Amino acid sequence: PFGINSLAKLSDEEEMLREAVRRFATEVVEPKVREMDENEKMDPAIIKGLFEQGLMGIETSQDHGGAGCSFTAAIIVIEELAKVDASVSVLCDVHNTLVNTVLRKYASKELMDKYLPQLSTEVLGSFALSEPSSGSDAFAMKTTCKKDSNGDWIINGSKMWITNSAEAEFFIVFAQGDPSKGYKGISAFAVEKSMGVEIAKKEQKLGIKASSTCTVNFDDVKVPAANLIGEEGKGYKIAIEILNEGRVGIGAQMVGIAQGAYEKSVRYAYDRTQFGKPVASFQGMQFQMADAATEIEAARLLVYNAARLKEEGRPFTKQAAMAKIYSSQVAQSVSGSAIEWAGGVGFTRETGIEKYWRDSKIGAIYEGTSNIQRQTIAKLQEKEMGL
């Protein structure tokens, strides 16, 4: 009853992948969701399962051990996982749309040959941009990179809020090499944990509790010259161009959260009887559910449209920002309504409906807050209108 019937057509390969991920999510992830949320810890068996299912190198070429699928395929995987658990979804999202994509798009052949096969099969990655004093103003970072006499790089500083960092062995790190150049002094690096990365404070959060979010410290971490990604001073462009793609992924995560909450609660409301009828049969309930279903469909179309525009090499930055901002609003409002549709039961941990609402809140914060998306949309609107 909740199938996807849309002209935003998916290929046979994308449909098959959706089915496979749906099975993995319901059979392997779902039984562990509550325990992982309460323990605030990702089950290592799930990370292993994601690698075994080929979900950690979705767009990576088969030559590099990946699945060689489309960007939309990655989006579908994120959406399907989020229907069941937003933490597993973001783990997979960061690894694929941020970490792997930086390497695929900007790294030397040598770096791709070295790291992409590991990242497709066994090594988890993190994307380290934000710092204690630079979140929205990401290019004001204080972490430094300096060349030593051999041409290797020495990184010093502290990154904050880094997803996957408790489990990751590999980090994409952004650092400032020449503050006099402003953001044009920022470079990007491929950094192995074993080079000396220190994982510090783990945050306790409102939602996506099983996803690790830690401070990551760099104290004279020596990174080989060859691990510079792209050109020196181009790190800022790498960061934001990757985030433009990543934001579509977060949009997909939010669509999945909204859909997951909707399905759980509507099913409950058809089972629950009051006044001699299923509560879902009251028009007051049905109208709310119809509105929610409409909002989810609109959000999904924004997300898929941004993904297809990207795949076709057309401008998609504005559409990605719109998809993220709208989907995160829909995820919050639908998961909030879902709690109400289930009454008191929705407010308990029993059904897991309240978890969707807690998990939805992050959509308006990470990968650029909703205000930052608005700023991006406004800037592009001005440009398009020649103002």
Residues near ligand CAA (CB under 6 A) are 90, 94, 127, 129-130, 136, 138-139, 163, 183, 236-237, 240-241, 243-244, 317, 366-368, 372, 376
The DSSP annotation for 47-73 comes to HHHHHHTT-SSSSS-GGGTS----HHH
The listed partner (ligand CAA, ligand FAD, none) that binds 244, CB under 5 to 8 Å by sort, is ligand CAA
Determine the straight-line distance between the first and last CA of the chain, rounded to whole angstroms.
46
Token pair, residue 7, equals 């002209």
- Rounded to whole angstroms, the Cα distance separating 342 from 351 reads 9
Which positions are annotated as active-site residues? 367
- Among residue numbers 15 through 44, which ones bind ligand FAD (CB under 6 A)? none
| Contact predicate 341/285, CB 8 Å | yes
Tell the smallest beta-carbon distance from residue 60 to ligand CAA (Å): 19
What is the enclosing helix (H) or strand (E) of 380? Answer: helix 370-384
How are beta strands 213-223 and 198-202 bridged, if at all? Answer: antiparallel
Q: Site mask, ligand FAD, residues 151-190, x = CB under 6 A?
A: ----------xxx---------------------------
The listed partner (ligand FAD, ligand CAA, none) that binds 243, CB under 5 to 8 Å by sort, is ligand CAA
Nearest residue relative to ligand FAD (C-beta): 135
Q: Which residues make Cβ contacts (< 8 Å) with residue 46, sequence separation at least 6?
A: 28, 29, 32, 36, 88
Q: Site mask, ligand FAD, residues 337-366, x = CB under 6 A?
A: -------------------------x--xx
Tell the smallest beta-carbon distance from residue 13 to ligand CAA (Å): 26
Residues 274-313 as b or e (16 or more Cβ within 10 Å = b)? eeeeebbeeeebeebbeebbebbbebbbbbbbbbbbbeee
Tell the smallest beta-carbon distance from residue 138 to ligand FAD (Å): 7
Which is nearer to ligand CAA, 100 or 130 (by Cβ)? 130
List residues binding ligand FAD (CB under 6 A).
94, 127-130, 135-136, 161-163, 205, 208, 213, 362, 365-369, 371-372, 375
